[in-house]
Structure 1
Amino acid sequence: MANQELIVNSGSRNLWKELTSSIETCNRFYISVAFINYSGLQLILDSLKIAANKGVTGQVITSTYLNFTEPKAVEKLTTFPGVDVRVFLTEQQNTGFHTKAYIFEYGDHFKVIIGSSNVTQSALKSNVEWNVQIISKQDDAI
């Protein structure tokens, strides 16, 4: 049975702490968010370096939606050899892109976080955000 928890940025708990811990301990990760800015990326850079040194691979998908994602942040992500970075070009697709999901693979389970937080400093640490974390064995239904 899956374990579920609501993560809100309050008290001593925030999404930033959950993401850094997850990136550092997973076998593979997937991040899909509409927006990434450099100050948000800086919060997880050390964890990405730790993961890279352990051979962890990942995929990051972001977008040009509303021109909010900072090119500097995307460029920095491409410096990690095990991270596949893709940018959804909303102007070419004539549609928005507003996903916010973080998936972490472990040996026998997955951790999935879906909610309202992009990779921005305020979304990860201080904004009022709601994110649901689900931890599930590979063969469990979510």
Structure 2
Amino acid sequence: MSSTFNSQHRINIKEVEPECWKLIIEIEQFLARTSLDKQLRELIKIRTSQINKCAFCIDLHTKDALKLGETERRIFALSAWQESPLFSEKERAVLQLTEEITKINEAGLSDHTYGKISTLFSGNEIAQLIIAINHMNFLNRVAVSTKLIHPN
């Protein structure tokens, strides 16, 4: 008898903890009601998912971004946003914030990045950005740890 675990038998958190999943969805619904630009929120989701190597979320949020009018060219350039002229000053600041929060163990959130964000967004918007980035990190970790697979 093999002791190898079959990853297809990992739990579905949405099914086994529906009450908690409802709270997770409420955070997404809250973020959808904020003034944060929908396309910007999708860029956060895609970039966070790229960093965390969450194929399920990259697939899902790339499709969502395209439906919102995001261009394929910008999505293709997202993994190298620092080198690309395709992103605005605000987007670049948010992508830097996304990088630093997602990789929080490396150097934390720098004063430089926070200072830049604070010149471009209100206090409420900064809070919403931090919530959005951390929420996506949480969802990535759930998907990766349970080996959630996107459809072919």
TM-score, normalised via structure 2 length: 0.28
Between Structure 1 and Structure 2, the one with more strand by share is: 1
